[in-house]
Structure 1
Amino acid sequence: MPLLLNRKDVMQVLDMKDCMEVVEKAFAEMANGTAVLPLRINITPPSGLSLYMPAYLKELGALACKIVTIYKDNPKKHNMPVIVGKVLLQDPATGDVICIMDGGYLTAIRTGAASGVATKYLARKDSGQVTGIFGAGVQAKAQLWAVAEARKLSKALVFDISDEAVTAFISEMSGKLGIDVLKADSADQMLDQSDIICASTSSATPIFDGSKVKDGTHINGIGSHTPAARELDTNIIKRSTLIADSYEACLSEAGDVMIPIDEGAIDKSHMKAELGEVITGEKPARSNDSEITLFKSNGLAIQDVATAKLVFDKAVKAGIGTSVDI
């Protein structure tokens, strides 16, 4: 009988450290050729957008599909969130669905985990660094949590257009991580003081001036994921050593990469590696402490599948969830 796990169940068993470990293994499988990762399927019914994201990880023994829907009228018409997600986890031996779980919290944590892994391999190694977080929502919180797992931070800065969101972010994350989390007064202040930057906003246009990023900075870009939208300007893309979560995804979905290519500012060879290739040692990571590194994250189904398997295993061990006869 499939196990049902709601958002509360997922939150009870899923932590960032364990998620980073399985997400790192998933990217390594991708590089080693033991992962099956089709491009996500997009369907556009009249009222919204449905995304289907399947993947299989041989070494982790994980097979699943995440379904994400984006219906902008949901809050007004149906008292539901704009974005709704569910993950269907299957038994690779039989193909049967063994778990149906909420995908909202899982998506935030697995997205943060990828940035955490990228930070582990690409950011400078010195401790006491400062992280600057653009955005103050759920994804931004997961970004800071993950970076704090990858590096010993002295403090964090947050910048967002909503003062209310910033206040809530500071209260929650300073308590959670035990570090100073401070409000930045401007994007320029963030760039001047930060060693690691996370761009996690819903903006469709660049959120800072790439010419002002300090040498030696590492950037995680996770917010934009459509061809016409970008958080990062052409300048910072050109200045950075660009690492992709997936070459294919960046060339089909990521405006941060596609727009500079269309402008003629770079070509696809500007992407130096996929993250999995860096993890396995097939491609180099940071070469020196003055290099600017940039991880472009689109979000891959391998992250969802690895995380869903982790959640399921921990939930079964803890006796959490509800079994249903379908």
Structure 2
Amino acid sequence: MTDRIPLIDSDQIRRLLSPREAVQAIVDALQEGLDPAADPARTAVSTAHGQLLLMPAEGRDHAGVKVVTVAPDNPARGQPRIQGLYLLFDAATLRPIALLDGMALTTLRTPAVSVAATLPFLLRSHDPLRIAVFGMGPQGRAHVDTVTNALAGHRGIAHVTYLARRPLRPDDPLNDIDQGQGDTPPVALATSGSVEAARAVAQADLIVCATTAREPLFDSATIQNHAVVIAVGSHEPDAREVDGALTTRAYVIVEDVATAMREAGDVIQALDEGHLNAADLIPMRQIVADSAVSLAAGRPVLFKSTGMSWEDLVVATAVYQRFNG
């Protein structure tokens, strides 16, 4: 191998593919027949200071693998908790053709999957969307950006409330966030458990959970019947962001049923507690690709994502095609 492999960095990824285009790439892949159930399982290897995660996938024209590290103590060192790279191959020759910034790719693809799975429900109303976000990191903010970009021209954003599980550090960039200047929707900050946080959850049309929580973040009895809840914070059986009662009340959409029953603590624990039956789980492919599937209004919608390898490959391929011109 003599050709130099290009590195597509985080800035290039953001320039090459918009959030709306990433959503469309996910939708197109599912509508063209991609079956998430065929995805290889994630491999996790424990290390002295965290985990190594390997996420391979194969498509028609490309194959790829994401290598991710999870170092729980890194935030205290001023370093990211999660880091990684994505290696893209030509499917026919298995020749490596590109290396992508893994975290920028994940930050783009995770909310793209969330929005692709829930878009029909977010578009049921034209009223400006009220959003509550648990999680002060990149994924919480990326979900707001993706929803805003994907719904542009169809539904505006009334306001966004970020809900921190602990008071913000003085140097946290969210302390200086634009508080609704110009075209930016009003933004509020609140601490979980406060009166302001409870009000934001009760009024929200969309609730995003993007945290490392091990226990439910809010009481689902307080949310509106039309609310959409997106939970993306964990792929571990013993971690959850929503309570079991929500899975009884809501339509529960997952990327893949077998994967959710293996990795999604929000699903696994609800099943164990008797709140949910496996037969009630709805694969997102049915929502995105099957026009005959229609869920009646009047119940919340929960989308639980653990992150799957096919999603990285779809978005990495779209980025590479733009890069390669």
Same fold (TM over 0.5): yes
In the alignment, structure 1 residue 142 sits paired with structure 2 residue 137: no
Distance 1:102 1:248 in 2: 29
Q: For residue 32 of structure 1, report the CA deviation from its aligned partner.
A: 4.9
Q: Is the 8 A contact 2:55 2:67 kept in 1?
A: yes
> What is the deviation of 1:177?
6.6
Q: State which drifts further: 35-44 or 129-138.
A: 35-44
SS of the residue aligned with 2:177?
helix
Matched residue, 1:178: 184
Q: Name the structure 1 match of 2:244.
A: 234
Shift of 1:141: 0.6
Instruction: Find the counterpart in structure 1 of residue 103 from structure 2.
Output: 104
Between 9-18 and 206-215, the greater mean CA deviation after superposition: 9-18
Secondary structure, counterpart of 1:119 in structure 2: helix
How many percent identity over aligned positions?
A: 26
Please give the secondary structure, in 1, of the residue aligned with 2:55: strand
Note the C-alpha offset of 1:247.
0.7
Instruction: Report the counterpart of residue 92 of structure 2 in structure 1.
Output: 93
Deviation of 1:297 after TM superposition, in Å, equals 0.9
Say whether the 8 Å CA contact 2:139–2:210 is kept in structure 1: yes
**Which protein has greater RCO, CA pairs closer than 8 Å, 6+ apart?**
1
Secondary structure (helix, strand or coil) at the match of 2:140 reads helix
| Equivalent residue number for residue 7 of structure 1 | 10
For structure 2, the residue ranges without an aligned partner over 5 or more in a row are: none
Aligned twin of 1:152: 156
Alignment map for 1:185-200 (pairs within 5 Å): 186-200=196-210
Is this contact kept in 2: 1:115–1:146, CA < 8 A? no
Q: Give the C-alpha shift of residue 245 in structure 1.
A: 1.1
* CA positional deviation for 1:102: 1.0
In 1, distance between residues paired with 2:202 and 2:158?
A: 15
Q: Would you say the 8 A contact 2:66–2:102 is kept in 1? A: yes
Residue 163 (structure 1) aligned to one of 168, 188, 191: 168
Provide the alpha-carbon RMSD of the alignment. Answer: 2.5
2:269 and 2:205 mapped to 1: Cα distance?
26
Deviation string, structure 1 residues 19-52 (Cα, Å, up to 9, x no partner): 11112223335x6549841111111233321111
Report the alpha carbon displacement of residue 176 of structure 1 after superposing the two structures with TM: 10
Q: How many residues align?
A: 311
- TM-score, scaled to structure 2: 0.87
Residue 234 of structure 1: CA displacement?
0.8
Contact 2:108 2:142 survives alignment (8 Å): yes
Q: Please, what TM-score do these two structures have when normalized by structure 1?
A: 0.86
**Is the deviation greater in 176-185 or in 125-134?**
176-185
C-alpha displacement at 1:163, in angstroms?
A: 3.2
Written as runs of structure 1 = structure 2, the 5 A alignment for 1:1-326 is 1=3, 2-29=5-32, 32-33=34-35, 36-58=38-60, 61-73=61-73, 81-127=80-126, 128-148=128-148, 149-150=150-151, 151-160=155-164, 161-164=166-169, 168=174, 171=177, 178-184=184-190, 186-271=196-281, 273-281=282-290, 284-288=293-297, 290-317=298-325
By how many angstroms is 1:169 displaced? 7.1
Task: Provide, for residues 196-225 of structure 1, a one-character-per-residue CA deviation record: whole Å limited to 9, x for no partner.
Answer: 111111111100001111111111111122
CA contact (8 A) 1:65 1:89 kept: yes
| Partner secondary structure for residue 53 of structure 1 | strand
